[in-house]
Amino acid sequence: MNKTMENKTCARILIVDDELIIRESLAGWLKRDGYSIVTVESGEKALEIISKESFDLVFLDIKLEGIDGIETLSKIREIVPEMPVVMITAYGSINTAVEAMKKGAVDYLLKPFEPDELSLLIEKILTSKARDLENLYLKETIKDRIRFDRLIAQSKNMQGVFDLIKRVAPLECTVLITGETGTGKELVARAIHSHSQRREGPFVAINCGAFPEQLMESEIFGHERGAFTDAKEQRRGKLELANGGTIFLDEVGELSFKMQVNFLRVLEEKLFYRVGGSRPISLDCRVIAATNRDLKKAIREGIFREDLFYRLNVFSIHLPPLRERKEDIPLLARHFLMKFSKETNKHVENISRDALDLMMIYDWPGNVRELKNAIERAVVICRGSQIRPQDLPISVGESNKREGPDGSTKLLPLKEIEKRYIKQVLDDTNWNISLSSKVLGIDRSTLYKKIKKYNLKH
């Protein structure tokens, strides 16, 4: 069945006119075209039926007894704002029909009617409505794909991360998140928590490398009054505070060997003691850990316990560095631009093409965190309405330098950097033009022009 036939078969149309002959003639034509028709003679009855039933289109006479067509239109807009309404009018009331369109009518139908004109008008309106709904669905789908909680990405490998989060969130198992500093490991942990059965409970984070060993023990397990010199009162630890929720152990690879032993025992026995305490406390929280270390290497070096690793690594999620998902850079940069423009009350609305090119070339060793800081600084120091290369606190590094005739090192021109980067992306994608243009943040026609401009060869 084609789309036109689908529209006709499914569409319900309401005809509102106080002249019986108009209602009957319109209804007769539209029923023969395959539409489902309901007719009423007044604005009051139209509003009553619209509040109870759904329609795809309304034909509404301007001149009605009681509340007229213009007032009825306004009330329809209040009940169902998206409802397409076509005004029925005589030649002498065209100005009123135009006024009605300014108030939300999609079109007007002039008496006497031409059946062919009527059919074309309905088909145009219903096709447009179907397209709007499809676009809305696609927009929401894309929005869902690029945003997961506070994570923003469109790259294939980050879409894989989103899928892993969705799979593991409803489970109670421990999760180990790996990735370089600044890739967003805590955001992933928070996303897992917010989609878990413990979402109503607390999310408690602790940086395992931020405290010396004795203080770390107290931070995680808590302590009783008098447990050590400065323990002047009882204190609950992070595990206890996370009761009913999730505890996030950031940089778990920094735990001392003693703390590793202690924490392993907690995971195995589901019990722990406050420092200096004798009463066992049940472990009632989900454990998510994260590290930027290679824990398998740390195990081989004898600085991380293998048994603890396997306890933590029941389900693992690896976050790729930003240099491996550069197609996310324009999306993230735009997000941070909007965020910091609002926070600083500065009207910085765009990122120049050259600035974006520079960001795409740069390797971002500090990952998303570095990109965020770079955009914040650029917004602060930017003097115009768009960020330029000189506003960014980054340089393209040694890979973008060349040796001069006297042996000195000079920065490459931006065009040469662009040429090399485009060639690199094309080679990395095996000259897949669609994928390359997506990574580069330009359309296909622009990419073809640059290939020709730089005389690039497969």
| Percent of the residues in the chain that have a pLDDT greater than 90, as a whole number | 38
Q: At residue 400, does pLDDT exceed 70?
A: no
Q: Mind listing the pLDDT tens digit for each residue in 67-82?
A: 899 899 999 988 888 8
Exposed/middle/buried for residue 230 (C-beta within 10 Å: 0-12, 13-18, 19+):
exposed
CB count within 10 Å of CB 254 equals 18
3-140 topology per CATH: Rossmann fold (3.40.50)
Long-range contacts of 435-443 (CB under 8 A, 24+ apart): 438/327, 439/326, 439/327, 440/360, 441/327, 441/329, 441/330, 441/356, 441/360
Task: Output the pLDDT for position 132.
Answer: 64
Q: Is this structure's pTM higher than 0.85?
A: no
> Residue for token digits 């413990």?
198
Model pLDDT, residue 173: 94
Spans of all domains in the chain: 3-140, 153-320, 327-391, 398-453
Side-chain-facing half-sphere of 111: CA atoms under 13 Å: 20
Q: How confident is the model at residue 4 (pLDDT cuts 50, 70, 90)?
A: very low
Angle value at C-alpha 153, between 152 and 155, nearest 5 degrees: 175
How many whole angstroms separate alpha carbon 130 and alpha carbon 125? Answer: 9
CA angle in degrees (0–180, nearest 5) for 174-370-344? 110
Q: Which residue has the higher pLDDT, 96 or 10?
A: 96
CB 216 within 8 A of CB 263: no
pLDDT, averaged across the chain: 84
pLDDT at 317: 97
Q: How far, CA to CA in Å, does 407 sit from each of 96, 214, 399, 404?
A: 80, 55, 16, 5
More confident residue, 216 or 312: 312
Residues 33, 107: Cα–Cα separation, whole Å = 20
Pick the CATH number of 327-391 from 3.40.225.10, 3.30.70.2190, 3.40.50.2300, 1.10.8.60: 1.10.8.60
pLDDT at 8: 46
What was the pLDDT predicted at 435?
76
pLDDT tens figures, 264-277: 999 999 999 988 88
- Give the 3-state secondary structure percentages of the chain, helix then strand then coil, rounded to 5: 50, 15, 35
Nearest to 105 by CA among 60, 172, 147: 60
CA–CA separation, 436 vs 385, rounded Å? 29
- Segment 40-48 shows an average pLDDT of 93
Q: Alpha-carbon distance 126 to 7, whole Å?
A: 7
Calculate helix-pair angle for 20-32, 115-146, nearest 10 degrees.
60
pLDDT for res 412: 59
At CA 425, angle to CA 422 and CA 426, rounded to 5? 85
Strands 235-236 and 57-61 turn out to be unpaired
How many CB atoms sit inside 10 A of residue 29's CB? 16
419-428 tens-digit pLDDT:
888 887 887 7
Q: Which two tokens stand for residue 279?
A: 């009463």
415 CB burial (10 A radius; 0-12, 13-18, 19+): exposed
For 422-450, the pLDDT digits (tens) are 887 887 777 878 778 777 778 777 888 88
CATH 1.10.10.60 is the classification of domain 398-453: yes
Write down the pLDDT at residue 135: 56
- Summarised one tens digit per residue, pLDDT across range 307-327 is 999 999 999 999 999 999 988
- Whether 38 shows a pLDDT value over 90: the answer reads yes
Quick one: tokens of 414?
A: 């931006």
Map residue 111 onto helix, strand or coil.
coil
For domain 153-320, the CATH architecture is 3-Layer(aba) Sandwich (3.40)
Summarised one tens digit per residue, pLDDT across range 217-246 is: 888 998 888 767 777 788 888 999 999 999
Give the pairing of strands 246-250 and 203-207: parallel
Tokens of 417: 């950097």
| pLDDT reported for residue 168 | 96
Domains 3-140 and 153-320 belong to one CATH topology: yes
| Model confidence at 142: pLDDT above 80 | no
So what's the pLDDT on residue 130?
66
Share of the chain above pLDDT 70, in %: 89
Least confident stretch, 21-30, 35-44, 108-117: 108-117
Out of 50-54, 136-140, 371-375, pick the least confident: 136-140
